[in-house]
């Protein structure tokens, strides 16, 4: 970070590392706006980065994760940071001061030298059913027998199969606009996308149904994670952006996934919620890939991370390891 006067942020420049997709750029610019609002006079610049997940838009993400997981700091099983590692590296090597991630993409293991400094207020955490342009509203029940749904997520696939065992699936790689174009061209009968991403891109009108009773979301879905170097003054600049309830929910969800030894490509759905950061409830489901087996657990408490660990241990005690 470029220094200005010691008593203010006037003249200081903060560099934000981000992926270069339209959604990632929206998120980085959103954080830039929050920073300028919290620190008048602060200059903010974006540093665009290509990630492994961006460069390879062909292979299924779980396959890429398994191939790359060995030796990745903070990755852990199935959580190597396909969309985050290169962005983190830009901060670690000094090209940027801050990294903005979709929190659901950020592995739960620590990366030496970095800290998760802030989680801003959370957007919708839910998945959405998207039908071809002009189809209007609809539900999972309206899909034809044997319909093809565009999603590569094991979490989404397993929960959908539990509701509709007849469904088939196809990979849906690429940015949101690319996936929608494939849907409208007839590649799929439906897509499953994160509602927050559609909202952020001004595409809420494409949502046919919010799946808030059908599918538990991914860990951190709808939230942003802002990292910086652990010893950097940027920690203090980011503090006003931290939303205490969103952070507590995220801490519980991420602690659960970390204790399971799983990652963002595991068939795990969660929902953390709380009226205040000292009373967090977490519900989690761990499924077999075919959706036939579903273990669920729930816990509530004042310590978000302890709640997450308790839920994970309950799932493991009931045989969850066999599903991971």
Q: Active-site residue numbers?
A: 105
| Tokens 């652990």, located at residue | 230
Among 25, 47, 45, 48, CA closest to 36: 45
Q: Residue 271, class by beta-carbon neighbours within 10 Å (0-12 exposed, 13-18 middle, 19+ buried)?
A: buried
User: 136's torsion region: left (phi>0), alpha (psi -120 to 50) or beta?
Assistant: left
Question: CA torsion, points 254, 112, 101, 88, in degrees to nearest 10?
Answer: -160
Name 185's Cβ contacts closer than 8 Å, sequence gap at least 6: none
The sign of the dihedral angle between the CA atoms of 78, 83, 86, 91 is negative
Name 14's Cβ contacts closer than 8 Å, sequence gap at least 6: 1, 35, 42, 43, 44, 45, 97, 98, 234, 237
Helix (H) / strand (E) containing 258: helix 244-260
- Residue pair 193/118 in contact (Cβ under 8 Å)? The answer is no
Q: Measure the CA–CA gap between 230 and 97, rounded to whole angstroms.
A: 11
DSSP assignment letter at 137: S
| Tokens 């066999």, located at residue | 322
Among 52, 46, 49, CA closest to 31: 46
Tell me phi and psi for residue 68, to 5 degrees.
Answer: -110, -5
């Amino acid at each position: 970070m470029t220094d200005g006067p010691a008593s203010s942020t006037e003249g200081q420049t903060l560099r934000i590392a981000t992926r270069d997709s339209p959604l990632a750029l929206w998120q980085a610019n959103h954080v830039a706006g929050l920073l300028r609002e919290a620190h008048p006079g602060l200059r903010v610049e974006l540093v665009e980065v290509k990630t492994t997940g961006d460069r390879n838009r062909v292979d299924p993400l779980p396959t890429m994760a398994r191939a790359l997981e060995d030796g990745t700091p903070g990755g852990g099983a199935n959580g190597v940071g396909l969309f985050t590692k290169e962005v983190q590296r830009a901060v670690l090597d000094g090209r940027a001061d801050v990294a903005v991630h979709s929190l659901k993409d950020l592995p739960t293991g620590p990366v030496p030298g970095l800290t998760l400094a802030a989680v801003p207020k959370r957007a919708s955490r839910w998945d959405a059913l998207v039908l071809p342009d002009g189809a209007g509203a609809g539900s999972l029940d309206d899909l034809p027998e044997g319909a093809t749904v565009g999603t590569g997520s094991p979490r989404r696939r397993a929960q959908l199969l539990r509701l509709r065992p007849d469904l088939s699936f196809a990979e849906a790689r690429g940015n949101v606009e690319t996936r929608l174009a494939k849907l409208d061209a007839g590649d799929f009968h439906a897509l499953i996308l994160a509602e927050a991403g559609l909202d952020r891109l001004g595409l809420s009108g494409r949502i046919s149904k919010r799946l808030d009773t059908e599918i538990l979301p991914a860990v951190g879905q709808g939230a942003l994670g802002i990292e910086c170097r652990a010893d950097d003054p940027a920690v203090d600049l980011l503090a006003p952006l931290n939303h205490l309830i969103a952070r507590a929910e995220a801490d519980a969800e991420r602690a659960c996934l970390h204790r399971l030894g799983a990652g963002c490509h595991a068939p795990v759905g969660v929902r953390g919620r709380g009226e205040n950061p000292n009373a967090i409830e977490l519900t989690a489901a761990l499924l077999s890939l075919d959706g036939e087996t579903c273990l669920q657990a729930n816990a509530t408490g004042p310590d978000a991370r302890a709640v997450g660990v308790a839920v994970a241990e309950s799932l493991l005690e009931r045989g969850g390891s066999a599903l991971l």
